[in-house]
Amino acid sequence: MLVLIEWFYKSPKNQNIVLTSEMIPAKEALMISDDFEKTGRVKELVFYDQQHTKWTKKELIKLLKEVETEPQNIVAYFDGGFDLQTHKAGLGTAIYFTQNNRDYRVRANEVFDELETNNEAEYAAFWFMLLTLEELGVKNTAVEFKGDSQVVLNQLSGDWPCFEDTLNKWLDRIEDKMKDMGIRPTYSPIARKQNGESDKLATQALEGTMVSSKFEINGK
């Protein structure tokens, strides 16, 4: 969770000044706020999240304790591979997140049948990624989505129009699912070489090698 700090500062000459930070992780913001308060010149201190919701320090501490057991700081990668001869798609996703103060990575893949184009395979991969997030219990949180499909990410963000009926159906389905899950999306197109993990999972699915794993990063 990212927040900005807004504090009302009283200078040694009794001048009242309002100062605002950049968006930073909430835990870091709380530590910084502790330092501000040690000066004895903080008149008021509040926090704003990415949805512009206002939080007091007490409210933010309580919120972080409540969501600690839920997946947070989520970055989700996806990729779809399409076999033109069989009309099968290999779908791959790699998801990174924090839960209970531990960092995890989930990898999964799947095969979808009777698709028509590579772009449809990419949409199917995004859908499969959402289902995987749902299984992890992701809800009411921000998620950064990364992939090398410019079409999918730019159409989902609204930067590009979608004129194909088949893709529009996927688009509506995905947007409805994210709304139901309370996901606040950020779309980050990346180069294919940066999406190698999901690409490999999609290829493995087409080859018949299925993957479903959860791994604690730097865990014992």
**pLDDT 10s digits, 26-70:** 889 999 999 888 888 888 899 999 878 899 999 999 888 877 788
- Widest pairwise Cα distance in the chain: 77
Question: What is the residue extent of each domain of the chain?
Answer: 2-67, 72-216
Task: State the average pLDDT over residues 77-99.
Answer: 95
Distance from C-alpha of 220 to C-alpha of 172, rounded to nearest angstrom = 42
So what's the pLDDT on residue 201? 98
pTM: 0.77
Write out the DSSP string of 134-190.
HHTT--SSEEEEEES-HHHHHHHHTSS----HHHHHHHHHHHHHHHHHT-EEEEEE-
* pLDDT-based confidence at residue 123 (cuts at 50, 70, 90): very high
3-state secondary structure of 35: helix
Task: For residue range 170-208, list pLDDT tens digits in order.
Answer: 999 999 999 999 999 999 999 999 999 999 999 999 999
So what's the pLDDT on residue 151? 97
Task: State the average pLDDT over residues 74-96.
Answer: 95
| pLDDT > 70 fraction of the chain, expressed in percent and rounded | 99
Distance from C-alpha of 106 to C-alpha of 93, rounded to nearest angstrom = 8
Domain 72-216 fold: Nucleotidyltransferase; domain 5 (3.30.420)
Task: State the average pLDDT over residues 137-157.
Answer: 95
